[in-house]
């Protein structure tokens, strides 16, 4: 039960947490007569939001030293532990973030989805797609972010079949895929040279009320070029990218289009000139001399 006399201190700590005032939150902790779990959690969150991962670790260690597992099970979560995991992940301390998650799971500490998503993001840097899948399975009702990050990890690991399975699980769990979901899926397919599957995903997006974006189109273009389907690549570039809004073309798309033109053989010169003129007319791409296909073959 909370001590009502500590109400003003708790309100001050809540403000520090919301404003990421980590130094002031540490100062306020000194006024609590004993280690107060909710107060230490608030201070840890404040430190995490301020990017002070090392202070988060110290606070978490102190809490674990005095707290009991019964408190963890009976409470509504462990925001201090979650904030520490997220802070370490943002600081690119991926092994430490994953280690903290493992300890939290061993102690059966409930964690927020955002903390699990941060740990899954850590798997991208260490190419641990199987670990990312295990983390996702441990989340009772994973949100769209959890699925999207795990699909991205599988994409980096060239596990396109597992990425497709995650899309199916995502829909079964009534989670709605978005542009990020399909961009990662198509990228997974082009990394594994399965252009037919990638093309099917791109075609399926409108039926799921998802609008393809420049990332989806660039991944699809790359997939076509890697499979030497230059005609398909040029058709996609002309209709989806050149025919789109003025801000829809970027350097990557034009680069891949140059590669497709080069695959077309001697007749590619006229198309290259047209593409060069188009690139010069757009503000977000560089001149064609910086994007010659000979200099950027994958």
pLDDT tens column, 234-260: 888 877 766 654 445 566 677 777 777
Q: Report domain extents, the chain.
A: 1-68+75-107, 127-201, 213-298
Q: What is the pLDDT of residue 279?
A: 52
Which pLDDT value is given to residue 177? 93
**60-90 confidence digits (pLDDT tens):** 888 777 765 434 443 345 788 888 988 888 8
pLDDT value of position 297: 37
Contact (Cβ atoms closer than 8 angstroms) between residue 183 and residue 171: no
Helix residue ranges, H only, 68-127? 69-74, 79-90, 94-106, 113-125
Three-class SS state of 158: coil
Measured distance CA(284)–CA(252) in Å, rounded: 11
* Residue pLDDT, tens place only, 139-166: 767 888 889 989 988 988 889 999 999 9
Which are the contacts of 270, defined by CB distance < 8 A and separation ≥ 6? none
Pick the closest to residue 143 from 109, 107, 118, 106 (CA basis): 118
Closest CA to 150 of 168, 176, 171, 128: 128
Residue 289 has pLDDT above 60, yes or no: no
Query: 76 with 57: CB under 8 angstroms?
Result: no
Reported as a pLDDT band with limits 50, 70 and 90, residue 294 is: very low
Per-residue model confidence (pLDDT) at position 204? 92
Instruction: Report the chain's mean pLDDT, rounded to a whole number.
Output: 77
- DSSP code for 34: S
Beta strands in 107-259 (DSSP E): none
Count of CB atoms situated within 10 Å of the CB of 190: 25
Q: Are 250 and 284 in contact (CB under 8 A)?
A: yes
Amino acid 213: pLDDT: 85
Band of the pLDDT at 168, cuts 50, 70, 90?
A: very high
What is the Cα 148 distance to its own chain's centre?
7
Residue-by-residue DSSP string for 264-285: T-TTHHHHHHHHHHHHHH-SSS
Find the range with the poorest average confidence among 22-31, 73-82, 246-255, 272-281.
272-281
For 10-65, the three-class secondary structure string (H helix, E strand, C coil) is: HHHHHHHHHHCCHHHHHHHHCCCCCCCHHHHHHHHHHHHHCCCHHHHHHHHHHHHH
pLDDT at 191 over 60: yes
Most confident residue range from 59-73, 74-88, 189-203, 270-284: 189-203
Answer whether 174's CB lies under 8 Å from 152's CB: no
Residue 185: is its pLDDT beyond 90? yes
Higher pLDDT residue, 180 or 273?
Answer: 180
């Amino acid at each position: 039960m909370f001590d009502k006399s500590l109400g003003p201190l708790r309100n001050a700590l809540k403000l520090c947490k919301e404003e990421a005032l980590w130094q002031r939150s540490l100062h306020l902790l000194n006024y609590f007569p004993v280690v107060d779990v909710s107060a230490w959690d608030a201070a840890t969150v404040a430190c995490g939001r301020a990017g002070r991962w090392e202070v988060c670790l110290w606070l978490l260690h102190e809490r674990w030293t005095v707290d009991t597992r019964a408190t963890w099970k009976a409470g509504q979560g462990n925001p201090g532990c979650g904030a520490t995991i997220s802070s370490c992940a943002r600081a690119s301390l991926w092994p430490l973030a994953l280690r903290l998650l493992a300890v939290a799971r061993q102690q059966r500490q409930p964690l927020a989805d955002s903390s699990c998503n941060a740990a899954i993001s850590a798997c991208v840097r260490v190419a641990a797609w199987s670990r990312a899948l295990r983390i996702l399975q441990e989340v009772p009702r994973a949100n769209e972010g959890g699925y999207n990050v795990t699909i991205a990890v599988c994409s980096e690991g060239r596990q396109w079949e597992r990425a497709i399975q995650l899309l199916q699980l995502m829909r079964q769990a009534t989670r709605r895929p978005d542009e990020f979901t399909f961009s990662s899926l198509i990228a997974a397919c082009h990394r594994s040279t399965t252009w037919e599957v990638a093309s099917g995903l791109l075609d399926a997006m409108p039926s799921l009320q998802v609008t393809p974006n420049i990332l989806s189109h660039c991944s699809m273009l790359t997939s076509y070029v890697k499979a030497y389907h230059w005609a398909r690549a040029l058709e996609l570039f002309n209709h989806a990218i050149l025919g789109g809004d003025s801000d829809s073309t970027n350097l990557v798309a034009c680069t891949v289009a140059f590669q497709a033109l080069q695959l077309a053989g001697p007749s590619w010169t006229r198309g290259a000139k047209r593409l060069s003129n188009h690139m010069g007319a757009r503000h977000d791409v560089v001149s064609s001399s910086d994007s010659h296909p000979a200099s950027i073959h994958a």
